[in-house]
Amino acid sequence: MSPEIRAMQEAMERHGYIAEAPIATAVFLAREMRKPLLIEGDAGVGKTEVAKVLARLLDTELIRLQCYEGLDVSTALYEWDYPRQMLRVRMAEQAGSDPSQIEEVIFSRAYLLERPLLSAITRREGPPVLLVDEVDRADDGFEAFLLEILSDFQVTIPELGTIRAEHVPYVVLTSNRSREIGDALRRRCLYLYIEHPSLEKEVRIIRSRVPGASERLAEQIGRFLQALRRRKLLKSPGVSETIDWAQALLHLHRDQLDPETVEQTLGCLLKDRHDLGDLTAAELASLVGEAQIAEAPAR
């Protein structure tokens, strides 16, 4: 492994993200090539976290744009502050000012509400990290618009003219693959698919994120999750669920798994009625057994 990538991996770990080689490589390349990074993977594998850790690592601001269906330019880019403009006009009228002057005033930067995309390119203190979260939820039209921003990093506001990026931001896009991301957008980016973590990595994550968990508990949780994911589930639990669960078990003062506790807290992991219903008590017990027995020879 090249020293730069190893350094990246270590830096990410220092900032609380345990990154396997592919993740560290992708983040390294995205930073060096100054290209947006498109991250896909199941829910809860830590896609958003990559952007957060990148911001911490570069010691810069994280600007987040959460996508949703019907997201439009006025919530993503900019909007004029209509009420303030209106008040300004009223005040000017009473003072008897020149109308053309008023227009110049109310269509200035002071009356512009910056939304995430615009603030990402106008930030003066160095490049920020721009996180475009769940880009698959926005509609195709928005994707095309995003493409334009990501290639030029400039925005044209009719009343103001063109605003160019002070610094080109680091961009991270995430997608849950609820729909296919267009080829054009994909091509503009580097691409990373994050898998569910391996047992070893998951245990390390639990240990680092839930420091109160004992090594034994962390390992049992990790084994249980690995076994659970091998089953055919509608919604496989991600790392974020694992962490929630570990915290829940800690609050219940458990330091190892037992079938009863697991059954009571299963809602932390399985969030689908069918998945919960499909898991019988006997199967649960065998999963718990698997988590415990596998550990015995290692002791």
Partner 1 sequence: MSSEDLIVHLARFAGALRERGVPASLSDEVDAATALTLVDLSDREEVRQTLRIALKIRKRDAEAFDLLFDIFWGTRRAGAAPIDPAARRSPDRARPLQRFGGAPGGGSPETDAESGGGDADVPGYSPEALLRRKPFEECTESDLAAMERLLARLALRLATRRSRRLVPTRARGAVDPRRSFRRALATDGEFLRLARRARAVEEPRLVVLCDTSGSMDSHTRFLLCFLLSLKRAARSTEIFVFNTALTRLTPWLSHGRIASTLERVAAGVPDWSGGTRIGESLAQFVDSHLDEMVGAKTVVLIVSDGLDRGDTAVLSRAMRAIRSRAKRVIWLNPLLGDPRYEPTARGMEAALPFVDLLAPAHNLESLERLIPQLRFGGGPCGPMNPLAA
Using CB under 8 A, list all residues that contact partner 1: 1-2, 4-5, 21-22, 25-26, 28-29, 32-33, 35, 38, 40, 70-74, 82-83, 86, 179-180, 183, 186-187, 189-193, 232-235, 272, 274
Q: How far is the CB of 210 from partner 1 (least distance, A)?
A: 29
Report which of 142, 127, 115, 132 is spatially closest to residue 37, judged by C-alpha positions: 132
Residue whose CB is less far from partner 1, 200 or 272:
272
If the CB atoms of residues 49 and 219 are measured against partner 1, the closer one turns out to be 49
Q: Which is nearer to partner 1, 25 or 220 (CB)?
A: 25
Smallest gap from residue 155 Cβ to partner 1 (A): 16
Q: Report in angstroms the alpha-carbon separations of 262 from 207, 248, 256, 258, 273.
A: 19, 10, 10, 6, 16
Which one, 158 or 297, has the nearer CB to partner 1?
Answer: 158
CB of 63 to partner 1, least distance (A): 21
Residues 6+ apart with CB under 8 A from 119: 63, 128
The least distance separating partner 1 from the CB of residue 278, rounded to whole angstroms, comes to 9
Task: Give the Cα separation of 173 and 155 in Å (integer).
Answer: 19
- Residue closer to partner 1 (CB basis): 37 or 129: 37
Show Cβ contacts of residue 246 under 8 Å, excluding neighbours closer than 6 positions.
206, 209, 210, 213, 217, 218, 221
Rg (CA), the chain: 24
